[in-house]
Amino acid sequence: MITFDAVTKRYADGTVAVDNLSLEAPTGEITVFVGPSGCGKTTSLRMINRMIDATEGRILLDGDPVQDIDPPKLRRGIGYVIQQAGLFPHKKIVDNVATVPLLLGWDRGKARSRAMELLERVGLDPAMGERYPFQLSGGQQQRVGVARALAADPPVLLMDEPFSAVDPIVRTSLQDELLRLQAELNKTIVFVTHDIDEAIKLGDRVAVLRVGGRLAQLADPKTLLSEPADDFVREFLGHDRGIRRLQFVGTEGLRLRTDLTVPAGFSGGSPEPWVLAVSDDGRPVGWLRGDGGGEPEPYGTFRPGRDSMRSALDAALLSPSGCAVAVGEDGKVAGVATREALDEALAEAADG
């Protein structure tokens, strides 16, 4: 656990970058620092590994003040990932990843094989280990940056806008990869971003900072969206806060109808305006009019219990019927969430 205990940072020119910050980043969770540019996120993060020293207050790592630990020793036990990856250009990828293990005195062979293993873990071909950083794309370099930070298996990971410089598609895949890794590794992660969507997606807890380095709100993403502490947080969360909140509403309680499916060869005769044609092996084919006219129309699917209400609503909006198709792990149709069912669930979500 990382504890900020009334931490203030005043730079030499008088700028107060962090003002009396007290919070905890619990072990095994992702704590996100989010806020507008210049609000002191980077400064806060860098005080943890003493890249910057606090002016007042203390930062504790599992109860020990970081102030008492020699910086190089402290940093070797904390993974650090920055925006431009900061890979060593003169070293091959594998040697970049092996940096900290080698500093810690591992033998070369062990450090290298560990590095190869990590490249695979972050979704890179181990053959890339023999390349130099300039031969990799920005997204690949960021993956290497993550692998390098994880190499010596530190319990704590600090990430400063690690995915901000890559394009949106790559960013999404890097975020997914981080969540997947975290599910396996359970690191204590402090993640800095200015992107509220990223904060909500990744954070177990989100600390919203305001300019001047003061904590505006610390909450889990769901609470943050439903109960912003003040106007600043509300404004920072943006206008589609309500829709985004549906991300945190489950679909396990959604009422499903199983009487709206018909075989693929359906030729009309249903009293319903729309019915779902299903193939012989149980997969959705498309929506058909109840009178059997026309071609199968597009449909959207969601996985009940696993996907959020936002996905279910999205699936409903993709279909001419306004219904969302529920599918199981195997891709087979489990039922249909009608507009009425969705409406009930939304009403419940709005109450809770």
Partner 1 sequence: MSWLSDFFGDPANWSGPDGIPARLLEHLEFSALALALAMLVAIPLGLLIGHTGRGGVIVVISANLARALPTLGLLVLFVLLLGTASILPVIIPLVLLAIPPILVNTFEGIRGVDPELRDAAYGMGLTGGQVLGRVLVPVALPLILLGLRLSAIQVVATTTVAAYTGLGGLGRFVIDGFATKDYASVVGGSVLIVLFALAVQLVFTLLQRTTVSPGVSRRVKVRQVASGRETT
Ligand X SMILES: Nc1ncnc2c1ncn2[C@@H]1O[C@H](COP(=O)(O)OP(=O)(O)O)[C@@H](O)[C@H]1O
For binding to ligand X (CB under 6 A), which residues are involved?
11, 13, 15, 17, 37-43
Angle at alpha carbon of residue 224, lines to 219 and 229, rounded to 5°:
90
DSSP assignments along 224-238, one per residue = HHHS-SSHHHHHHH-
Residue 127 touches which of partner 1, Mg ion, ligand X, none (Cβ within 5-8 Å per kind): partner 1
Distance, in Å, from the CA atom of 326 to the CA atom of 349, rounded to the nearest integer, reads: 19
Stretch that binds partner 1, among 2-10, 105-113, 120-128, 204-212 (CB under 8 A): 120-128
Whichever of 52 and 318 has its CB closer to Mg ion, that residue is: 52
* Closest separation in Å from C-beta 12 to partner 1: 15
User: Considering only residues 166, 309, 313, 337, which one is a binding residue for partner 1 as defined by CB under 8 A?
Assistant: 166
Whichever of 127 and 264 has its CB closer to partner 1, that residue is: 127
User: Considering only residues 68, 88, 113, 259, which one is a binding residue for partner 1 as defined by CB under 8 A?
Assistant: 88
Where in 23-82 is the site for partner 1 (CB under 8 A)?
49, 51, 71-77, 80, 82
Q: What is the 3-state secondary structure (H, E, C) of 95-127?
A: HHHCHHHHHCCCCHHHHHHHHHHHHHHCCCCHH
DSSP run (H or E) holding 199:
helix 196-202
Half-sphere exposure of 19 (CA within 13 A, CB side): 13
User: Considering only residues 18, 94, 118, 124, which one is a binding residue for partner 1 as defined by CB under 8 A?
Assistant: 124
Closest CA to 277 of 294, 296, 258: 296
Q: Are the C-beta atoms of 302 and 253 separated by less than 8 Å?
A: no
Where in 11-70 is the site for Mg ion (CB under 5 A)?
42
* Closest separation in Å from C-beta 281 to ligand X: 53
Number of residues that bind partner 1 (CB under 8 A): 44
Whichever of 81 and 315 has its CB closer to partner 1, that residue is: 81
The single-letter code of the amino acid at 23 is: L
- Asked if 140 interacts with partner 1 (CB under 8 A), we say yes
- Asked if 17 interacts with partner 1 (CB under 8 A), we say no
Contacts 24+ apart (CB under 8 A), 96-102: 96/133, 96/144, 96/148, 97/129, 97/144, 97/147, 97/148, 97/151, 98/151, 99/148, 99/151, 100/76, 100/148, 100/151, 100/152, 100/154, 101/151, 101/152
Whichever of 40 and 228 has its CB closer to ligand X, that residue is: 40
* Closest separation in Å from C-beta 39 to Mg ion: 9
Which residues contact Mg ion (rule: CB under 5 A)?
42
Which residues contact partner 1 (rule: CB under 8 A)?
49, 51, 71-77, 80, 82-92, 99-100, 103, 123-125, 127-128, 130-135, 137, 139-140, 143, 148, 166, 170, 173-174
